[in-house]
């Protein structure tokens, strides 16, 4: 297989409007950059969003794990390398490596996706659709030597009981929406950071996070966030319509 098909590289410039305290890139923005790189990688393999939309198909991300030793700073240019790592029935694995401007690896991520019907969001199997190219595994290497993990997602009453109130409430307002008129999943990480920050956590110590996406949030909907702590991990759970599970973000903090 040619090098072009083995991976896709994307360079990213870190803008001031994408940075927060300490001039560091927001983690949620980095996740958005990873997904932009994923789109470019998929396009190189014949599964770009424009082509898929013509066939009423879209990519949906289900899970991601991201680990980083540092976040890029304002004015930095960094590189994201991505490749398709496996196909398991209708699940597609995609890996990422993140490099600084001096070519140091400063992060890595793994993710799980499905191709889905644009209207119903039911999984699409490309091998059964003649108008779609056959999917290809570019490189079977997994950056963590395992697939993105699943987070145990409790029922709302297990977290909140009868009296516990949410740590923070978020709404699907205009600036939270993407081209599909629902909250872009990168925003869930921003909301999780907001929840921890409000409760006094030092979010600059986060070095590893696992994200599970359960339900989409449409324009105008309300999401209530709760925090659960277990040893060195802090997890933020989001619910809408009282008990519909929306997302979970499990974060590991540095000790020092």
For residue range 159-202, list pLDDT tens digits in order: 988 778 999 999 999 999 988 889 999 999 999 999 999 999 99
79 found inside a domain: yes
In a domain, 41, yes or no: yes
In a domain, 150, yes or no: no
> Is residue 142 in a domain?
no
Q: Look at residue 191 in the predicted model and tell me its pLDDT.
A: 98
> Considering 128, 143, 168, which residue would you say is the last residue of a domain?
128
Q: Is residue 134 part of a domain?
A: no
Query: pLDDT value at position 256?
Result: 64
Work out the angle at residue 238's Cα, subtended by the Cα atoms of residues 233 and 240, and round it to the nearest 5 degrees: 165
Q: Structural domain tally of the chain?
A: 2
In the chain, which stretches have pLDDT less than 50? 1-4
Give the structural domain span for 46. Answer: 3-128
Percent helix / strand / coil, the chain, rounded to 5:
25, 40, 35
The verdict on residue 135 lying in a domain is: no
DSSP-derived pairing of the beta strands 8-13 and 233-240: unpaired
Q: DSSP readout, 162-205?
A: TTPPPSEEEE--GGGB-TTSBB-THHHHHHHHHHHHHTT--GGG
181 domain residue, yes or no: yes
Q: What is the reported pLDDT for 2? A: 45
What is the model's pLDDT at position 35? 96
> Do 85 and 190 belong to one domain?
no
């Amino acid at each position: 297989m040619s090098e072009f098909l083995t991976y896709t590289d994307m360079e990213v410039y870190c803008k001031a409007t994408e940075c927060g305290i300490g001039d560091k890139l927001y983690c949620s923005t980095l996740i958005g950059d990873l997904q932009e790189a994923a789109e470019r990688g998929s396009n190189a393999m014949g599964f770009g969003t424009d082509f898929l939309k013509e066939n009423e198909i879209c990519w949906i991300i289900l899970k991601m794990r991201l680990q980083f030793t540092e976040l890029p700073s304002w004015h930095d240019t960094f590189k994201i390398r991505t490749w398709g790592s496996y196909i398991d029935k209708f699940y597609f694995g995609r890996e990422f490596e993140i490099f600084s401007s001096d070519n140091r690896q400063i992060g890595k991520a793994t993710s799980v996706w499905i191709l889905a019907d644009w209207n119903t969001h039911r999984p699409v199997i490309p091998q059964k659709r003649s108008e779609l190219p056959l999917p290809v595994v570019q490189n079977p290497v997994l950056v963590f030597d395992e697939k993105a993990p699943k987070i145990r997602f409790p029922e709302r009453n297990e977290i909140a009981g009868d009296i516990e109130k949410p740590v923070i409430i978020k709404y699907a307002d205009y600036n939270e929406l993407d081209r599909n008129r629902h909250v872009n999943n990168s925003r869930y990480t921003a909301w999780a950071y907001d929840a921890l920050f409000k409760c006094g956590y030092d979010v600059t110590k986060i070095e590893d996070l696992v994200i599970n996406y359960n339900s989409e949030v449409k324009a105008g909907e309300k999401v209530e966030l709760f925090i659960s702590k277990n040893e060195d991990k802090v997890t933020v759970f989001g619910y809408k319509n009282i008990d519909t599970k929306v997302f979970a973000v499990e974060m590991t903090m540095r000790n020092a």
